Chains A and B, each alone.
Chain A
């Protein structure tokens, strides 16, 4: 239990270091990437590419094991269907991301850093998440089978 808590905390700490070092807690760098017509800043591509490449390369050493070191099983999404919720959700998320230059990780890290914009963005983000749960809790979509671990299966990350 304690080892798991420390591991998760450590992972959060390293993740935060990566986001800050990558410049992702400066919304102008995010918008500077997304708006490719101005003084284009490709930094975000290196952050995402670096993270994606590293994880793709290293994860095989992990997933070939029978189980994680501190947990009984791997909880990895298995869904393969492209449903309307995935498409609509990603589209809506992108609009918010392009509007403010914050995605969830950098927003939380920026809150820890006392950034004033994050004092607005994070509570609004939390409200958006709760609003989603409120609207969709009562009506599970046909694409989400109601099985014992439906929440794990349905969540991509």
Chain B
């Protein structure tokens, strides 16, 4: 438990919840990142340029934080480039096939009480845990 950061993680979660509520209240949209990004890539311009604007906010937020607190972006996992590429590919493909990711299903959908989102969250938590377990226990934490 040496890396546990309860206060900052709870604060971070609250900020995400506030952002998701503002998205819904202002623009009527679900703040699901895979949905926003996937729609952007698919050329969905419905409702105006809110998709690129939201993604720009994510990017600028990361840029500003990196200047102030570089440790927030520490890569301490031992992962090769092919492993990272495979991870990204599966995350992109799977989140589109399953119509959502941690934010869309795990936060927005579950807050709505959506049966689909509850099911999706249970599934990706399970396969995520099994994968992490496999990499740590069988492969010794390196991939």
Q: Which residues of A contact B (CB under 8 A)?
A: 1, 4-29, 31-32, 34-44, 46-59, 61-63, 65, 67-77, 79-82, 85-105, 107-117, 120-133, 136, 151-152, 154-157
Contact = CB atoms under 8 A, between A and B. Distances in A.
Interface string B89-124: 111111111111111111111111011110111011
B83 A86 contact: no
A92 B57 contact: no
B59 A112 contact: yes
B92 A127 contact: yes
Contacts of A42: 1, 4, 6
A14 B4 contact: no
Given A27-B75, A93-B124, A82 B115 contact: yes
Given A73-B28, A89-B96, A114 B63 contact: yes
Interface in B1-57: 1-6, 8-35, 37-39, 41-42, 44, 46-51, 53-57
14 contacts: A11-B26, A25-B65, A25-B72, A43-B5, A51-B16, A52-B106, A77-B114, A91-B124, A94-B130, A97-B87, A105-B33, A121-B91, A128-B91, A157-B117
Contact of B13 (A14, A47, A90, A103): A47
Interface of B: 1-6, 8-35, 37-39, 41-42, 44, 46-51, 53-63, 65-66, 69, 72-77, 79, 81, 83-112, 114-117, 119-121, 123-133, 135-137, 143
Contacts of B126: 94
A64 B74 CA distance: 42
Nearest to A124: B88
Given A4-B47, A58-B18, A90-B98, 19 more contacts: A15-B16, A18-B14, A20-B12, A23-B5, A26-B72, A37-B137, A48-B106, A50-B14, A56-B110, A68-B27, A101-B77, A111-B59, A112-B58, A124-B85, A128-B89, A128-B94, A131-B89, A156-B117, A157-B117
